[in-house]
Amino acid sequence: MAELDAFHEVLFPSAVSFGATGGPVRRNEIVTLTSGRERRNARFAESRRSYDAGTGLRSLDDVYAVLAFFEARRGSLHGFRFRDPFDRKSCAPHETPSALDQTIGTGDGTTAAYQLIKIYGSGPDAYQRPIRKPVEGTVSVAVDGAAGVAGVDFTVDATTGLVTFEPASIPQAGLSVTAGYEFDVPVRFDSEALAISLAAFKAGQIPAIPLIEVLS
């Protein structure tokens, strides 16, 4: 039997994903006291994205592509990559990623590995989102503003988002480590079945294809 947490490094059909709806979800507990005041508590440290890919279906070929993809993943058994149509770069959607986009750490002269992150907001309230599925070949890294060379100064694990510097290129103490990249979201199907009616689809009724982010 396959492991329940197995992940397939394959991309959900792009033509469908760019018409999907969805975004980040937060789970908070809010209790109203007798005084009328509230007590609020975050259930999860990280946001978790959910999507409905059904809104991205435009043709019967799209339906078949999703059906085949669903079967190959064994339904919700295996996770996969999903290209978020709204948030898939280290920069704004209309910009090109740069090695100076996101600060991922500060050198200390000994640490060689840094996790890719994307920062939302600023100051003490900023949220640092771990980026674990960068698009291979898109990651650029700089130390103190000077861009490094992939494969010479550093390597990137596209399955974890971990940037590892070669011994001779380890960032020295106090130097800022920055990165730019494109990325995917690790998700799985959030349903055990695909309910697709040919008659309904031709009539313009879009089936629901729920996806949920896989957190590690």
Mind listing the pLDDT tens digit for each residue in 125-136? 999 999 999 999
Residues 131-183: tens digit of each pLDDT: 999 999 999 999 999 999 999 999 999 999 999 999 999 999 999 999 999 99
pLDDT of residue 2: 46
Provide the phi-psi class of 113: left if phi over 0, else alpha when psi is between -120 and 50, else beta: beta
Three-class SS state of 175: coil
Residue 184 pLDDT exceeds 90? yes
Residues 6 or more apart from 155 whose CB is under 8 A from it? 163, 164, 166
Sign of CA dihedral 147, 149, 151, 152: negative
Q: What is the 3-state secondary structure (H, E, C) of 135-165?
A: CCCCCEEEECCEECCECCCEEEECCCCEEEE
- Cα-Cα-Cα-Cα dihedral sign, residues 11, 211, 90, 19: positive
Cβ neighbourhood burial of 54 (10 Å; 0-12, 13-18, 19+)? buried
- Answering whether pTM is above 0.75, one says yes
- Residues 6 or more apart from 68 whose CB is under 8 A from it? none
Q: Is the pLDDT of residue 206 over 80?
A: no
How far is the CA of 91 from the CAs of 6, 144, 161, 179, in angstroms? 30, 19, 16, 10
The number of beta carbons lying within 10 Å of the beta carbon of residue 198 is: 9
pLDDT at 90: 98
The mean predicted confidence, pLDDT, of the chain is 91
Predicted pLDDT at 201: 67
Taking a C-beta distance cutoff of 8 angstroms, is the pair 118, 129 a contact?
yes
Distances (CA, A) of 110 to 8, 102, 169, 172: 33, 21, 10, 8
Please, which pLDDT band fits residue 88 given cuts at 50, 70 and 90?
Answer: very high
- 96-120 pLDDT, tens digit per residue, is 999 999 999 999 999 999 999 999 9
Evaluated on CA atoms 102, 103, 109, 115, the torsion sign reads negative
Q: What is the DSSP letter of 75?
A: T
